[in-house]
Structure 1
Amino acid sequence: MTYNPDLLDRAKRHPEKQKNADRPMGKKPDWLRVRAPQGTVYKDTLDIVRGQKLTTVCEEAGCPNIGECWNKKHATFMIMGEVCTRACAFCNVATGKPEELDKYEPLRVGVAVEQMALKHVVITSVDRDDLDDCGADHFVKTIGAIRFKSPDTTVEILPGDFRGNIQSIDAVIGAKPDVFNHNLETVPRLYPTIRPGARYFRSLRLLQRVKDVDPSIFTKSGLMVGLGETKEEVAQVMDDMRAADIDFITIGQYLQPTPKHAPVEKFWTPEEFEGLERMARAKGFLMVSASPLTRSSHHAGEDFARLKAAREEKLAAKQATVQAAE
């Protein structure tokens, strides 16, 4: 047998997927081609990440925007290890039994944010269903460390669903992140095959809970398209998000990480993404980002500034309407 390190690495990262038959990955259309990472600033960002022994979802999930983001000193830190307890069919993060939490990780994240002089930072994590609180306290400590080391930095978090545990969710809300992001990922019909460890309405209730407890926190959620969903199903998810008072929706193209992952059923065209953006704006989201290369944390800093401006404009318009009525 010929030695193939890529196949061995894939088997180690995704042991639960090795029983799957290889699915053709197909050729990406021209609008999904990106330049390879390069440049001095990219290397500086890499050095800080390595120096603080941190993990980024940019690397772990194989994000196509890593070159652009790291050249702008934007990075999404992934806390609580590199191994996830769930096995979503779309995700390139390794699956298995995680190691114990690193109690010094929150401080190292705070130091890295300070060193990179970030105005806005995104913190995500693997799912830690092995922990009683699913990692909620680690999120709280990480937010606290960032506030301590870099108090002017705005903080966006992208956690899992905490298995719907209200105490864990409320603890993280109490740490007052500026943006609470939690992705629905796909339409409810596809959850059993694409996101089997999650529950669609549990994720919706989590985002609604954020608004119920602290309406000042912006909420955000994302969808991938290309997994076999219909436009009508996407429209229904948008309606469900608005019913949960979600402020910001992101929609991007699913890209198959390996032949063992869920196949791409369709590459949506840039024109179709423009149609989805128009639809979402018509439904009342404060912010919409929809394009083939859109990802949850792509342009997060710039988007946060626009999100604040959109809220202020909406509040001003509402106030003007009230005054006119008086």
Structure 2
Amino acid sequence: MVKPSWLRVKAPQWERVGNIKGTLRDLGLNTVCEEASCPNIGECFHNGTATFLIMGPACTRACPYCDIDFEKKPVALDPTEPDRLAEAVRRMKLNHVVITSVNRDDLPDGGAAQFVRCIEAVRGASKGTTVEVLVPDLCGDSKALETILAAVPEVLNHNTETVPRLYRRVRPQGNYERSLELLRRCREITPRVYTKSGIMVGLGETVEEVDRVLEDLRSVDCDIITIGQYLQPSQKHLQVKEYVAPDLFARWQQLGESLGFLQVVASPLTRSSYHAEQVRSLMERYPRL
């Protein structure tokens, strides 16, 4: 299937990209930008932003849409990782940092304590930086979620990824209701934290099914939604069923705003952490004590 014109990305300025990659290699860090083959890597690296991937790069789940390696064996947590991540944030002078992880179902807390260590290290190294964590479903462990929220990140993001009907094929080890419950519990435990979720389209879902996901997310008071086109990382991954036209993304943006989302980011090239730093202006418009 030939990619349409609206999925073309601008060529990055490789000098800037190289500088960011150099910092990451020097500090021995992973980014989801690289591990998941994100199409926006050039733009984000050029702007000096990155989504850091902790506890990886090996994942304990085998989602057929994702380019992160699940064949490698997960390794023991590195106690130096939080400080190395914080040093990267300091060097890159980030105003907003996104910290995500592979699924670590092999750990008793799903890696919650490592998230906390990273949040605290960033706050210690760069006091003005806001922190967004993009967390896995933690196997539904409410105590693990409470552990992360005790560090009070400004944003807690958890992606629902797709519509319920496609979960068995797209996210076989996930559970749609469990993901909604995580976002609901987040709002209940720490109301001051902004909640966020994201979905991919182009996997065979209907317009009405996406509409229902937006309604479900608002029913648990989710603040921010991202919607983007699924792109097949390789021939071994799920095939794209449809390249969704930009006017449909515009429709979902309007619907999301009418449902009461504080921020809706919807376009073919949108990814969960794309332009995540814009949440800082949202926090100024809709402050929470």
TM-score by shorter chain over 0.5: yes
Instruction: Tell me, in whole angstroms, the C-alpha distance in 1 between the residues paired with 2:177 and 2:3.
Output: 32
Secondary structure at 2:85's aligned position in 1? helix
Aligned counterpart, 1:159: 135
**CA deviation vs aligned residue, 1:11-50 (integer Å, no higher than 9, x gap):** xxxxxxxxxxxxxxx2111110113443322221111111
2:268 paired with 1:287:
no
Report the TM-score when normalising by structure 1: 0.86
Aligned counterpart, 2:150: 174
What is the aligned counterpart of 1:215 among 191, 201, 216? 191
Is the contact between residue 225 and residue 254 of structure 1 (CA under 8 Å) also seen in structure 2?
yes
What is the aligned counterpart of 2:172 among 191, 196, 206? 196
What is the aligned counterpart of 2:16 among 41, 45, 54? 41
Instruction: Tell me, in whole angstroms, the C-alpha distance in 2 between the residues paired with 1:171 and 1:99.
Output: 22
What is the aligned counterpart of 1:60 among 35, 46, 50? 35
Identity across aligned pairs (percent)? 51
2:40 paired with 1:73:
no
Q: How large is the RMSD of aligned CA atoms in angstroms?
A: 1.1
Matches within 5 A, 1:93-172: 93-96=68-71, 97-172=73-148
Instruction: Tell me, in whole angstroms, the C-alpha distance in 2 between the residues paired with 1:108 and 1:187.
Output: 37
What is the aligned counterpart of 1:263 among 199, 219, 239? 239
Q: Please, which moves more after superposition, 58-67 or 41-50? A: 41-50
Residue 151 of structure 1, CA deviation: 1.2
Aligned counterpart, 2:281: 306
Is the contact between residue 114 and residue 149 of structure 1 (CA under 8 Å) also seen in structure 2?
yes
Report the TM-score when normalising by structure 2: 0.97
Is the contact between residue 287 and residue 310 of structure 1 (CA under 8 Å) also seen in structure 2?
no
Report the count of equivalent residues.
287
Secondary structure at 1:62's aligned position in 2? coil
Residue 257 of structure 1, CA deviation: 0.7
Instruction: Tell me, in whole angstroms, the C-alpha distance in 2 between the residues paired with 1:39 and 1:95.
Output: 29
Is the contact between residue 56 and residue 75 of structure 1 (CA under 8 Å) also seen in structure 2?
yes
Residue identity matched to 1:311: Y
Residue 305 of structure 1, CA deviation: 2.3
Unaligned runs of 5+ in 1: 1-25, 316-326
